[in-house]
Chain A
Amino acid sequence: MRPQLDTVAVAAGDPEREQPWADLGLKVDEYARIREILGRRPTSSELAMYSVMWSEHCSYKSSKVHLKQFGELAQETPRGKMLAGIGENAGVLDIGQGYAVTFKVESHNHPSYVEPYQGAATGVGGIVRDILAMGARPVAVMDPLRFGPLDAPDTHRVLPGIVAGVGGYGNCLGLPNIGGEAGFDDTYLGNPLVNALCIGVLKHEDLHLAKASGVGNQVILYGARTGGDGIGGVSVLASETFDADGPAKRPSVQVGDPFMEKLLIECTLEIFAAGLVAGIQDLGGAGLSCATSELASAGDGGMHVELDRVPLRDSTLAPEEILMSESQERMMAVVEPGDVDGFMEICRKWDVEAVVIGEVTDTGRLEIDWHGERVVDVPPRSVAHDGPTYHRPFARPDWQDALQADRAEALARPASGDELRETLLRLVASPNLCDKSWITDQYDRYVRGNTVLAQPSDSGMIRVDEETNLGVAVATDCNGRYAKLDPYTGAQLALAESYRNVATGGATPLAISDCLNFGSPEDPAVMWQFAEACRGLKDACAELGIPVTGGNVSLYNQTSETAILPTPVVAVLGVIDDVTRRTPSAFVAEGERVFLLGETREELSGSEWAHVVHGHLGGLPPQVDLAAERALAQLLADASRDAVVTSAHDLSDGGLAQALAEASFRSGIGVSVSVADVADGDAFVALFSESAARAIVTVTTDNADALVALAHEHGVPVTPIGRTGGDTISVEGQFEVPVAEAKQAWSATLPAALA
């Protein structure tokens, strides 16, 4: 027997009923606050709504005091004012010619550990709906991923499922997957990171915002039916540390239907084009609780919903469950009464179910009825925006000094040319630096026919306009080891690398979105890492003159006492006026001159070399010089525009050696260099230091002087280091290795481990 419906009237008449607030993840003071807001105990439906909306994942209650500073940055990119910023589903940037771009990166970490395929798949689905809700056509996706050690048994459970899920969903949506990353570290064992990014394109006039305005406007729920999947996913999964019973939480993970999402995309874009929506919101975490309360808060202040009209997949669902369900592929639109018929007709064309479930009111309340009885009567802002704010204690951990004092520069180094050769072969084959095509070959990178650059290029690049060749580029990066050594600098290095990767393709960086993956906010050391990373990002954005357009925070990435490496993934979006001028990252021809741009210092702490060869993490990460990053980026944009360089590849993990090897592998063209003029002639430092603000470029002999002049103009150190050609990678006076042999080592790692 179903218990008696807990209506507002019942709640008022039975004020002391015991409620399962603790099981829903609420703290005692949070429950008390809800009672205070309502002046009575919440109904069970209200309790469900508050519990999901006040969860860490939805309310950012631990992080928002630190995120606030991003809003203080000028809401302007090098191309002009932002059209929408933080607080919307995703930030929107003007890229010129009447076009705007929106992009965002989000996490789906916990669900992907519990159920790798569905967790990763619905991560893609969620971010795509966020972009769609802005009025944009989604045009590309990418996925930064982190896993435990490649040889760990659980990695063999998690990785193939996550990759298949990303591919299975994205491929079926017809969105090219143009980049991303895959990294490995012990701390991600049990806490894999699945971040999902989507880029969308729209015309300025098509921008849609999430608000329910206009009294009498109809509230339409459309897309998939609501089922029992994902109930409590937000509060139970995303906001608590895993204990040993992690996998028992399987029912909380949502199940995706990419076919429905594809229909939803085409249907929604057609509805936008017909001008039939006044406001729109996707349903993601916290489902209807989130969509109704957020739309109502942003509009004229009230909404009335008849919850029993919601089409169900499972007719036995109770109102609380319907409100909490995270069933995928659903959207909510606010539509003027006269437009409802037109709206429904387009939904019918695409076989998308749509139902009017309510209307906008001027009551200032969110009122929800269940078969005529009121089960929710709340101020919508109190659910959506007035959640608790925590000033969590944070403190620099006492082990930080010892960690920073243990410098990798003191470790034993390869001394001979033969040892350098072995080091190169070992590094290119290491899990973090090896060929990732085992993963990326499971993603469609070609669909829609606008992919100009994709993995393994430094950035992904998409043509926006086929006539004018306007395009955008995106890269994501983060080296968690740097962030562990110094979270402020590490976050800036993530930004700097991503910024540089956009620039090497020839694009001009405009803005960032971030996905801040950290351990438990209840640990002051983790909270300090988080606070430092936010401060670092804000300071770097201020100096580079680019805004944060939005992002996502994922906390509690922790198993018992072990937190993940702090992993502030930074996505940088850039614009390029003519994609035919893009710069590839691989060598393109024999006999071209190779130049190193930037300054190489002795910076080995946190490096891939220290990690792979010595299993060492200590010292200080490479210095950040944002002025140098900006100068390098401007040089690379000019070099692309003026066709000075034939290729450009950034230097980061693995240093110069890795960059040369990667540039050779894709085309099979070898390279001969001398590093006598780099790092005071210390070949090891020259090859394996990870100093930032560097890139290698190739030029035809005719253009060498032009490059040097351009470098001087921008104040970027420029060093000629050699020529492309032959079938070996050779370092004068040190070693020579056949490209084929090194490529074999590079490409064998993942297939061998995951076979």
Chain B
Amino acid sequence: MKVGVVTFPGSLDDVDAQRAVRLGGNEAVALWHGDDDLKGVDAVVLPGGFSYGDYLRCGAISRFAPVMTSVIEAAERGMPVLGICNGFQILCESHLLPGALIRNDHRKFVCRDQRLRIENTRTPWTSAYAEGQEVTIVLKNGEGGFIADEATLDMLEGEGRVVARYLDDNPNGSLRDIAGITNARGNVVGLMPHPEHCVEDLTGAGTDGLGFFTSLAAAVLA
């Protein structure tokens, strides 16, 4: 499969996401924020970073990049889209996902190896995991606190749209320990932790993140 990785001005984990896509057995295609051409990719990753410096609300400017017009259209047609960290923020700003991400409750940037539970394995990004599987994935963010109103949270829970939840200490004040969610159709996933940093034994924190990138092929075969 061809997986596009978008580079916005200020994207940082784009090279990491491309590497993870390759290690997951797919072809990585670099996409540019200013170009609405998705180059025929089968899926898109919006990587982590500080797009446009995140001086305004995180992701608020990127949402208006030409490439996002195409990503939003493709997502609405069912294309798999994974937003990691800043990418998750962009997906919320784009209204592809509900809720918002705000400054960590302890008001500091946090980088650590985070325990998570994968709660939804029906998305094209998580099918390689077992439901309830506990994994360790790098978490690093300054504005990773997931919030939504109670009704939205209840809806997400009720429809099984919480994809991953923090275990042990909640690292950023996210409501109901939510680390990642999906849309109603299940093709768009936003995740605050960074699976692309957990794809090699040599670097990062183990290889628990690889499943996000191997799931794609399995999803297509199924």
CA distance A450 to B142 in the complex (A): 22
CA distance A257 to B142 in the complex (A): 17
B16 touches A442 (CB 8 A): no
A449 touches B19 (CB 8 A): yes
Say yes or no: A350-B9 contact (C-beta < 8 A), given A172-B53, A450-B203. yes
User: Could you mark each residue 220-259 of chain A with 1 if its beta carbon is under 8 Å from any beta carbon of chain B, else 0?
Assistant: 0000000000000000000000000000000000000111
With both beta carbons as reference points, the residue of chain A lying nearest to B113 in the complex is identified as A446
B12 touches A447 (CB 8 A): yes
Query: Does B132 belong to the interface (CB within 8 Å)?
Result: no
Query: Does A263 belong to the interface (CB within 8 Å)?
Result: yes
B127 vs chain A, min Cβ distance (A): 24
Query: Does A351 belong to the interface (CB within 8 Å)?
Result: yes
B111 touches A446 (CB 8 A): yes
With both beta carbons as reference points, the residue of chain A lying nearest to B51 in the complex is identified as A259
A350 vs chain B, min Cβ distance (A): 7
Within 8 A of A (CB), among B11-32: 12-13, 15-16, 19-20
With both beta carbons as reference points, the residue of chain A lying nearest to B48 in the complex is identified as A447
Chain A residues positioned under 8 Å from B53 (CB to CB)? 172, 257-260
Which of A168, A174, A257, A579 makes the CB contact (< 8 A) with B49? Answer: A174
User: Could you mark each residue 165-208 of chain B with 1 if its beta carbon is under 8 Å from any beta carbon of chain A, else 0?
Assistant: 00000000000000000000000000000101101101111000
With both beta carbons as reference points, the residue of chain B lying nearest to A447 in the complex is identified as B12
B202 touches A580 (CB 8 A): yes
Query: Does B63 belong to the interface (CB within 8 Å)?
Result: no
Report, as a range, how many residues of chain B touch the other chain: 20 to 34
A173, A262, A442, A447: residue with the most chain B Cβ atoms closer than 10 Å: A447
Query: Does B108 belong to the interface (CB within 8 Å)?
Result: yes
A117 vs chain B, min Cβ distance (A): 12
CA distance A87 to B53 in the complex (A): 34
Within 8 A of A (CB), among B106-139: 108-112, 138
B52, B109, B199: residue with the most chain A Cβ atoms closer than 10 Å: B109
Say yes or no: A443-B55 contact (C-beta < 8 A), given A174-B49, A463-B203. no
Query: Does B78 belong to the interface (CB within 8 Å)?
Result: no
Say yes or no: A263-B203 contact (C-beta < 8 A), given A442-B110, A446-B194, A447-B16. no
Query: Does B140 belong to the interface (CB within 8 Å)?
Result: yes
Say yes or no: A449-B204 contact (C-beta < 8 A), given A259-B52, A259-B55, A441-B111. yes
A259 touches B50 (CB 8 A): yes
A280 vs chain B, min Cβ distance (A): 22
Say yes or no: A451-B108 contact (C-beta < 8 A), given A174-B13, A257-B53. no
A441 touches B197 (CB 8 A): no
Query: Does A722 belong to the interface (CB within 8 Å)?
Result: no
Chain B residues positioned under 8 Å from A259 (CB to CB)? 9-10, 50, 52-55
Chain B residues positioned under 8 Å from A463 (CB to CB)? 202-203
User: Could you mark each residue 89-109 of chain B with 1 if its beta carbon is under 8 Å from any beta carbon of chain A, else 0?
Assistant: 000000000000000000011
Chain A residues positioned under 8 Å from B55 (CB to CB)? 259
CA distance A653 to B70 in the complex (A): 57
User: Could you mark each residue 578-593 of chain A with 1 if its beta carbon is under 8 Å from any beta carbon of chain B, else 0?
Assistant: 0110000000000000
Interface residues in chain A, defined as those with a beta carbon under 8 Å from any beta carbon in chain B: 164, 167-168, 171-174, 257-260, 262-263, 350-351, 440-452, 463, 466, 579-580
In the complex, 23 of the A-B residue pairs with CB atoms within 8 angstroms, ordered by the A residue number, are: A164-B108, A164-B109, A171-B50, A171-B140, A171-B142, A172-B10, A172-B12, A258-B53, A259-B10, A259-B53, A259-B54, A259-B55, A262-B10, A350-B9, A351-B9, A442-B111, A443-B111, A446-B16, A446-B203, A446-B205, A447-B13, A447-B48, A448-B15
